[in-house]
Chain A
Amino acid sequence: MDVLVGIGSPDESVAALERTATRAAATGDDVTVAIVGDHADAAREALEADARAVADDAGIDVSIRHVEGDPGSQLVDIAEAEGFEELVIGGGSESPMGKITIGSTAEFVLLNAHTTVTLVR
Protein backbone atom coordinates (compact mmCIF):
# COMPACT_ATOMS: atom_id res chain seq x y z
CA MET A 1 0.00 0.00 0.00
CA ASP A 2 1.19 3.54 -0.74
CA VAL A 3 1.03 5.63 2.41
CA LEU A 4 1.53 9.38 2.70
CA VAL A 5 2.48 10.74 6.13
CA GLY A 6 2.17 14.45 6.77
CA ILE A 7 4.44 15.89 9.43
CA GLY A 8 4.48 19.51 10.46
CA SER A 9 5.55 19.70 14.08
CA PRO A 10 7.92 17.51 16.08
CA ASP A 11 5.59 16.80 19.01
CA GLU A 12 2.49 15.89 17.05
CA SER A 13 3.98 14.18 14.06
CA VAL A 14 6.62 11.80 15.32
CA ALA A 15 4.01 9.41 16.71
CA ALA A 16 2.26 9.34 13.33
CA LEU A 17 5.48 8.52 11.57
CA GLU A 18 6.59 5.94 14.13
CA ARG A 19 3.35 4.04 13.82
CA THR A 20 3.43 4.16 10.05
CA ALA A 21 7.06 3.06 9.89
CA THR A 22 6.50 0.18 12.30
CA ARG A 23 3.57 -1.06 10.26
CA ALA A 24 5.45 -0.61 7.02
CA ALA A 25 8.29 -2.74 8.32
CA ALA A 26 5.79 -5.56 8.80
CA THR A 27 3.58 -5.05 5.75
CA GLY A 28 5.97 -3.68 3.14
CA ASP A 29 3.96 -0.48 2.67
CA ASP A 30 5.65 2.22 0.62
CA VAL A 31 5.94 5.29 2.80
CA THR A 32 6.27 8.86 1.61
CA VAL A 33 6.82 11.60 4.16
CA ALA A 34 5.62 15.12 3.37
CA ILE A 35 7.08 17.81 5.58
CA VAL A 36 4.47 20.55 5.60
CA GLY A 37 4.05 24.03 7.02
CA ASP A 38 6.21 27.10 7.24
CA HIS A 39 9.50 26.35 8.95
CA ALA A 40 12.84 28.06 9.21
CA ASP A 41 15.52 26.09 7.37
CA ALA A 42 16.96 24.66 10.58
CA ALA A 43 13.56 23.46 11.79
CA ARG A 44 12.81 21.93 8.41
CA GLU A 45 16.10 20.06 8.43
CA ALA A 46 15.46 18.90 11.99
CA LEU A 47 12.08 17.48 10.95
CA GLU A 48 13.74 15.67 8.06
CA ALA A 49 16.44 14.30 10.35
CA ASP A 50 13.74 13.11 12.78
CA ALA A 51 11.92 11.38 9.94
CA ARG A 52 15.11 9.68 8.71
CA ALA A 53 15.91 8.50 12.22
CA VAL A 54 12.45 7.00 12.70
CA ALA A 55 12.63 5.24 9.34
CA ASP A 56 16.13 3.90 10.06
CA ASP A 57 15.01 2.61 13.45
CA ALA A 58 12.16 0.75 11.81
CA GLY A 59 14.46 -0.48 9.06
CA ILE A 60 12.48 0.92 6.14
CA ASP A 61 13.20 3.25 3.24
CA VAL A 62 11.09 6.34 2.97
CA SER A 63 11.02 9.12 0.45
CA ILE A 64 10.90 12.54 2.01
CA ARG A 65 9.74 15.71 0.36
CA HIS A 66 9.22 19.28 1.47
CA VAL A 67 5.84 20.75 0.67
CA GLU A 68 5.13 24.45 0.74
CA GLY A 69 1.78 26.12 1.07
CA ASP A 70 -1.26 25.34 3.18
CA PRO A 71 -0.58 21.99 4.89
CA GLY A 72 -4.11 20.53 4.80
CA SER A 73 -4.93 21.26 1.19
CA GLN A 74 -1.45 20.27 0.00
CA LEU A 75 -1.70 16.87 1.70
CA VAL A 76 -5.16 16.23 0.27
CA ASP A 77 -3.98 17.27 -3.22
CA ILE A 78 -0.88 15.10 -3.16
CA ALA A 79 -2.77 12.08 -1.83
CA GLU A 80 -5.31 12.32 -4.64
CA ALA A 81 -3.05 13.37 -7.48
CA GLU A 82 -0.56 10.59 -6.81
CA GLY A 83 -2.97 7.85 -5.87
CA PHE A 84 -1.98 7.29 -2.24
CA GLU A 85 -4.22 4.80 -0.48
CA GLU A 86 -3.85 6.15 3.02
CA LEU A 87 -3.03 9.53 4.50
CA VAL A 88 -1.60 9.56 8.03
CA ILE A 89 -1.41 12.65 10.24
CA GLY A 90 -0.96 13.51 13.91
CA GLY A 91 -4.24 13.23 15.74
CA GLY A 92 -4.32 16.32 17.85
CA SER A 93 -2.65 17.80 20.87
CA GLU A 94 -3.75 18.08 24.49
CA SER A 95 -4.63 21.27 26.32
CA PRO A 96 -3.26 21.88 29.86
CA MET A 97 -6.51 20.32 31.09
CA GLY A 98 -5.98 17.21 29.01
CA LYS A 99 -8.63 18.06 26.44
CA ILE A 100 -7.85 16.74 22.99
CA THR A 101 -7.90 19.47 20.39
CA ILE A 102 -7.80 18.84 16.68
CA GLY A 103 -5.86 21.40 14.69
CA SER A 104 -7.00 23.07 11.52
CA THR A 105 -4.82 20.84 9.32
CA ALA A 106 -6.32 17.64 10.71
CA GLU A 107 -9.82 19.04 10.42
CA PHE A 108 -9.29 20.10 6.82
CA VAL A 109 -7.84 16.72 5.88
CA LEU A 110 -10.68 14.80 7.56
CA LEU A 111 -13.34 16.81 5.83
CA ASN A 112 -11.75 16.96 2.40
CA ALA A 113 -9.69 13.85 1.74
CA HIS A 114 -11.17 11.13 -0.43
CA THR A 115 -8.49 8.71 0.73
CA THR A 116 -8.65 6.88 4.04
CA VAL A 117 -7.25 9.08 6.80
CA THR A 118 -5.56 7.81 9.94
CA LEU A 119 -5.15 10.08 12.95
CA VAL A 120 -2.43 8.83 15.27
CA ARG A 121 -2.55 9.57 19.00
Chain B
Amino acid sequence: MTSERRYPDEISGPFPTPPREFTDGEDREIEIRPYDGSDAEYESLSEMYVEFDPEDRAQGIPPGKESRIRTWLDGILADDCYNIIAWDGDTAAGHATLVPDTDGDHFELAIFVLQDYQQAGIGTNLIKSLLGYGKSVGITKVWLTVERWNHPAVSLYKKVGFETTGAENFELEMAIRIGDDEE
Protein backbone atom coordinates (compact mmCIF):
# COMPACT_ATOMS: atom_id res chain seq x y z
CA MET B 1 0.00 0.00 0.00
CA THR B 2 2.78 2.40 0.95
CA SER B 3 4.90 1.95 -2.12
CA GLU B 4 1.99 2.33 -4.51
CA ARG B 5 0.64 5.54 -3.03
CA ARG B 6 0.63 8.35 -5.55
CA TYR B 7 1.74 11.85 -4.60
CA PRO B 8 1.12 15.07 -6.50
CA ASP B 9 4.07 16.19 -8.63
CA GLU B 10 3.65 19.77 -7.56
CA ILE B 11 5.09 20.92 -4.23
CA SER B 12 2.53 22.70 -2.02
CA GLY B 13 3.32 25.55 0.32
CA PRO B 14 4.97 27.56 1.64
CA PHE B 15 3.61 26.82 5.10
CA PRO B 16 4.38 28.68 8.32
CA THR B 17 6.46 26.95 11.00
CA PRO B 18 5.43 26.81 14.65
CA PRO B 19 5.51 28.38 17.18
CA ARG B 20 2.79 30.74 16.02
CA GLU B 21 0.22 32.91 17.76
CA PHE B 22 -3.06 34.13 16.39
CA THR B 23 -6.49 35.33 17.46
CA ASP B 24 -9.17 32.80 16.56
CA GLY B 25 -12.67 33.49 15.26
CA GLU B 26 -13.97 33.73 18.84
CA ASP B 27 -11.32 36.28 19.89
CA ARG B 28 -9.26 33.75 21.81
CA GLU B 29 -5.48 34.05 21.80
CA ILE B 30 -4.24 30.71 20.50
CA GLU B 31 -0.62 29.56 20.44
CA ILE B 32 0.52 26.67 18.30
CA ARG B 33 3.80 25.03 19.26
CA PRO B 34 5.52 21.65 18.96
CA TYR B 35 4.82 19.12 21.72
CA ASP B 36 7.67 19.44 24.24
CA GLY B 37 7.52 15.90 25.61
CA SER B 38 6.72 17.07 29.16
CA ASP B 39 4.31 15.29 31.48
CA ALA B 40 2.27 18.49 31.78
CA GLU B 41 1.64 18.70 28.04
CA TYR B 42 0.94 14.97 27.85
CA GLU B 43 -1.68 15.29 30.60
CA SER B 44 -3.31 18.30 28.93
CA LEU B 45 -3.54 16.41 25.68
CA SER B 46 -4.95 13.35 27.38
CA GLU B 47 -7.54 15.61 29.02
CA MET B 48 -8.51 17.04 25.64
CA TYR B 49 -9.18 13.56 24.30
CA VAL B 50 -11.16 12.51 27.36
CA GLU B 51 -13.39 15.54 26.65
CA PHE B 52 -13.57 14.76 22.95
CA ASP B 53 -17.09 14.31 21.55
CA PRO B 54 -17.53 10.69 20.39
CA GLU B 55 -19.44 12.04 17.38
CA ASP B 56 -16.23 13.56 16.10
CA ARG B 57 -14.30 10.32 16.23
CA ALA B 58 -13.01 9.18 12.87
CA GLN B 59 -12.13 5.61 11.94
CA GLY B 60 -11.80 4.60 15.57
CA ILE B 61 -9.63 7.45 16.78
CA PRO B 62 -9.38 9.01 19.25
CA PRO B 63 -10.32 5.95 21.32
CA GLY B 64 -13.08 6.39 23.88
CA LYS B 65 -11.63 5.07 27.13
CA GLU B 66 -8.90 6.97 28.94
CA SER B 67 -6.64 3.93 29.20
CA ARG B 68 -6.89 3.38 25.46
CA ILE B 69 -6.39 7.10 24.80
CA ARG B 70 -3.08 6.87 26.68
CA THR B 71 -1.92 3.81 24.77
CA TRP B 72 -2.79 5.54 21.51
CA LEU B 73 -1.02 8.77 22.58
CA ASP B 74 2.09 6.83 23.59
CA GLY B 75 2.27 5.57 20.01
CA ILE B 76 1.76 8.86 18.21
CA LEU B 77 3.85 10.97 20.61
CA ALA B 78 6.89 8.72 20.09
CA ASP B 79 10.23 10.20 19.10
CA ASP B 80 9.86 9.47 15.40
CA CYS B 81 6.52 11.34 15.20
CA TYR B 82 5.95 15.09 14.89
CA ASN B 83 3.25 16.69 17.02
CA ILE B 84 1.97 20.21 17.49
CA ILE B 85 -0.64 21.45 19.92
CA ALA B 86 -2.92 24.51 19.78
CA TRP B 87 -3.12 26.09 23.23
CA ASP B 88 -5.70 28.41 24.76
CA GLY B 89 -3.69 29.24 27.88
CA ASP B 90 -3.18 25.88 29.58
CA THR B 91 -5.99 24.18 27.70
CA ALA B 92 -5.13 21.98 24.73
CA ALA B 93 -7.67 23.04 22.11
CA GLY B 94 -6.33 21.13 19.15
CA HIS B 95 -3.63 18.68 18.15
CA ALA B 96 -2.10 17.63 14.86
CA THR B 97 0.33 14.80 14.28
CA LEU B 98 2.56 13.22 11.65
CA VAL B 99 3.22 9.50 12.15
CA PRO B 100 5.74 7.66 9.93
CA ASP B 101 4.82 4.65 7.83
CA THR B 102 6.93 1.59 8.56
CA ASP B 103 9.42 2.68 5.91
CA GLY B 104 9.83 6.01 7.72
CA ASP B 105 9.70 7.97 4.47
CA HIS B 106 6.03 8.89 4.29
CA PHE B 107 3.97 10.35 7.11
CA GLU B 108 0.30 9.93 7.96
CA LEU B 109 -1.41 13.11 9.11
CA ALA B 110 -4.29 13.55 11.52
CA ILE B 111 -5.78 16.61 13.13
CA PHE B 112 -8.21 17.02 16.02
CA VAL B 113 -9.90 20.14 17.35
CA LEU B 114 -11.91 20.09 20.57
CA GLN B 115 -15.58 20.78 19.91
CA ASP B 116 -15.67 24.17 21.71
CA TYR B 117 -12.85 25.37 19.49
CA GLN B 118 -14.16 24.22 16.14
CA GLN B 119 -15.09 26.57 13.30
CA ALA B 120 -12.79 29.29 14.58
CA GLY B 121 -9.90 28.83 12.16
CA ILE B 122 -7.82 26.66 14.49
CA GLY B 123 -7.92 23.61 12.23
CA THR B 124 -6.66 25.56 9.24
CA ASN B 125 -3.85 27.09 11.30
CA LEU B 126 -2.97 23.70 12.79
CA ILE B 127 -2.68 21.88 9.50
CA LYS B 128 -0.62 24.63 7.86
CA SER B 129 1.68 24.80 10.86
CA LEU B 130 2.08 21.02 10.91
CA LEU B 131 3.01 20.94 7.23
CA GLY B 132 5.48 23.77 7.84
CA TYR B 133 6.91 21.87 10.80
CA GLY B 134 7.15 18.71 8.72
CA LYS B 135 8.91 20.49 5.89
CA SER B 136 11.38 22.05 8.35
CA VAL B 137 12.46 18.59 9.51
CA GLY B 138 12.84 17.29 5.96
CA ILE B 139 9.53 15.49 5.38
CA THR B 140 8.43 15.55 1.75
CA LYS B 141 5.38 13.29 1.50
CA VAL B 142 2.30 13.29 3.69
CA TRP B 143 -0.93 11.30 3.33
CA LEU B 144 -4.18 10.80 5.20
CA THR B 145 -7.50 9.08 5.01
CA VAL B 146 -10.80 10.79 5.64
CA GLU B 147 -14.35 9.55 5.67
CA ARG B 148 -15.83 10.63 2.36
CA TRP B 149 -18.91 12.22 3.95
CA ASN B 150 -16.75 14.50 6.11
CA HIS B 151 -17.00 17.41 3.68
CA PRO B 152 -15.56 20.15 5.95
CA ALA B 153 -12.41 18.08 6.49
CA VAL B 154 -12.06 17.15 2.82
CA SER B 155 -12.36 20.79 1.73
CA LEU B 156 -9.81 21.87 4.34
CA TYR B 157 -7.33 19.29 3.07
CA LYS B 158 -7.93 20.32 -0.53
CA LYS B 159 -7.47 23.97 0.35
CA VAL B 160 -3.93 23.39 1.61
CA GLY B 161 -2.95 21.23 -1.36
CA PHE B 162 -3.96 17.63 -0.69
CA GLU B 163 -5.18 15.70 -3.71
CA THR B 164 -7.40 12.64 -3.68
CA THR B 165 -5.25 9.62 -4.48
CA GLY B 166 -7.59 6.77 -3.64
CA ALA B 167 -11.37 6.80 -3.70
CA GLU B 168 -12.23 3.14 -4.07
CA ASN B 169 -12.97 2.49 -0.37
CA PHE B 170 -15.23 3.99 2.30
CA GLU B 171 -12.41 6.38 3.13
CA LEU B 172 -10.84 8.80 0.72
CA GLU B 173 -7.09 8.70 0.63
CA MET B 174 -5.42 12.04 0.03
CA ALA B 175 -1.76 13.01 -0.35
CA ILE B 176 0.38 16.12 -0.55
CA ARG B 177 3.99 16.80 -1.47
CA ILE B 178 5.66 19.48 0.65
CA GLY B 179 9.28 19.13 -0.42
CA ASP B 180 11.57 17.91 -3.14
CA ASP B 181 12.92 14.39 -2.59
CA GLU B 182 16.29 15.45 -4.02
CA GLU B 183 16.73 18.44 -1.72
Binding stretch for chain B, among A19-27, A62-70, A93-101: A93-101
Residues of B near A10 (CB, < 8 A) are none
A102 CB–B CB distance under 8 Å: yes
Residue of A nearest to B147 (CB): A99
B149 CB–A CB distance under 8 Å: no
Docked-complex contact A107 and B170, CB < 8 angstroms:
yes
A73 CB–B CB distance under 8 Å: no
B108 CB–A CB distance under 8 Å: yes
**Count of CB-CB pairs between chains A and B under 8 Å:** 43
The size class of the interface chain B forms with chain A is: 20 to 34
For A55-98 the 0/1 string (1 means CB < 8 A from B) is 00000000000000000000000000000000000000011111
Binding stretch for chain A, among B16-24, B27-35, B53-61, B154-162: B53-61
B-side interface mostly = mixed
Docked-complex contact A99 and B58, CB < 8 angstroms:
yes
Docked-complex contact B59 and A100, CB < 8 angstroms:
yes
A104 CB–B CB distance under 8 Å: yes
Tell me the minimal C-beta distance from B2 to chain A in angstroms.
9
Q: Which residues of B contact A (CB under 8 A)?
A: 58-61, 63, 72, 75-76, 97, 99-102, 108, 110, 145, 168-171
* Interface contacts beyond A94-B60, A102-B170: sample of 11 additional A-B pairs, CB < 8 Å, sorted by A: A96-B108, A97-B76, A97-B108, A98-B60, A98-B75, A99-B60, A99-B61, A99-B171, A102-B169, A104-B169, A107-B169
Q: Which residues of A contact B (CB under 8 A)?
A: 94-104, 107
